[in-house]
Structures are given as structure tokens and as C-alpha cells.
Amino acid sequence: MARRQIVLDTETTGIDPKQGHRIIEIGCVELVNRRLTGNNFHVYINPQRKSEEEAIDVHGITNEFLRDKPLFHQIAQEFLDYIQGAELVIHNAPFDVGHIDNEFALLNQGYQKTHDYCQVLDTLTMARDLHPGQKNNLDALCRRYDVDNTKRTLHGALLDSEILADVYLAMTGGQVKLNLNQHKSQGSEQQQKELRRLNPNRPPLVVLHASSDEQLAHEERLNLVGSQCLWRAE
């Protein structure tokens, strides 16, 4: 069965929905079996209130720009139909999910919470597990995984979703760098302790060749990686 994931980001009028802040932009990109499909969802929303100046400094979306945009209730069902049944991939998911749940609740039309419609994967939690004690915001992850974010001068929901999709695929695609010198800072004495010399008179290693079934499984796995597969790069 195909695995459908939606990489999602929102922009808002401010941080806390409990203080009346609303969503002004939703951007989503679709992954099916780890491949971008181009079936994206993007919409600007009139929040019926002004954005905080600090928020405008982050995303650059002005109150004037949003005046003629649809209200959330006008796009709610289309948005729900798009995400329903998928796994949402979100960086700092509690923030975006909290705002989405708030928007559905404000409609007072029986909508449930996001977790009732979708699974949610938080890439910030994933990054903190993989890289404890390091910066794990989206810009830091782009640098770590060599993802191009040069077009990201301001936050934007669709652009950030596209970037996060690349970061997520890199984070979950296996080893990215060899890091052969990762223990160098520990000093040569520690390195010597970690070295294990092999007996020069040891018997030759047995070479085990992959079976035809294993070769087929390997090729199927490479097909999932698609154009990002380094093993097939010319």
C-alpha cells in the first residue's frame, strides 16, 4: 500500500492561538512512497485580525495583502480532504497542529482534532534525537544535510514545506557524511585505544555474494530513493 505523507507548514498572526492568533497561510507538499508528487496545497487566509509586527518581520505577509483572501471556513473542507488519512510531517508540530485545531474549533461545526484525521511526525523531535545538544531549526538542518535554502530570505509556508521535505528525506535516507574524523578531538591516545589490530596470519575473509532475491530487494530500495540515489549517480 502506498505511503502518503504531507509535509506541512503554517504562518500565523502570532504565537499563541489562546490569545486569538490565527493562521494566515498553509503550505503543503505531498510525498507518496518518499517521492514528491507535485500535488501541493497552498492558500493564504484572511485571519480577520491584524498580525503582530514581530510576526510580519518573520514572514513578510502584510495585513493589506490578506484583506481579500478567503476566510478559513471557506477552505476548511478542501484542506481537510487533502490531509485526511495522511501522515503529516511538521517541524515543531505542536505549534502548527495547535493552530489548526484552533481554527477547526472556531468553526463550531463538529470538526475533530488533527490527530483524529492524521498521524503526525515531528521532525524537530526527530532532529533532537539524532543531534542532541545541537541547533535543530530548519536553517541549521539545511546546513547539516546540504539542503539548498538560499531562496529562504523570509519564512513562507509553501517554501518551508518544500525545504523541510528535502531535509526529511535526507534525515531518513541513511548516512549522509562519512565523518571519518569524528573522534579526532578526543586525542591520539584515545584513538589508539579504540584501534584493534588484526592478526596478519588470519585466514582469508569469506566473500558472500547477494542472492538474486537480495539483489532485487536492493534495486527496489534504490527505486524508492529515486533521483537522490548516489549509488546510481554517473
| Radius of gyration over every alpha carbon of the chain, rounded to an integer in angstroms | 23
Helices of type H across the chain: 53-59, 63-66, 72-83, 93-107, 114-117, 123-130, 138-144, 157-171, 188-194, 212-225
Q: Which residues are 182's β-sheet partners?
A: none
Q: Which residues are 27's β-sheet partners?
A: 9, 42
CA dihedral of 211, 214, 216, 222, whole degrees rounded to 10: -140
- The rounded distance, in Å, linking the Cα atoms of 94 and 111 is 18
Relative to beta strand 35-36, strand 41-44 is unpaired
Active site residue 155: yes
Q: Which of 117, 129, 123 lies closest to 81 in space, CA to CA?
A: 117
Q: What angle do CA 90, 179, 144 make, to 5 degrees?
A: 30
Residue 158 grid coordinates: 509553501
Residue 8 grid coordinates: 506541512
Residue 22 grid coordinates: 490565527
Q: Could you say which of 42, 73, 131, 155 is catalytic?
A: 155
**Catalytic sites, residue numbers:** 155
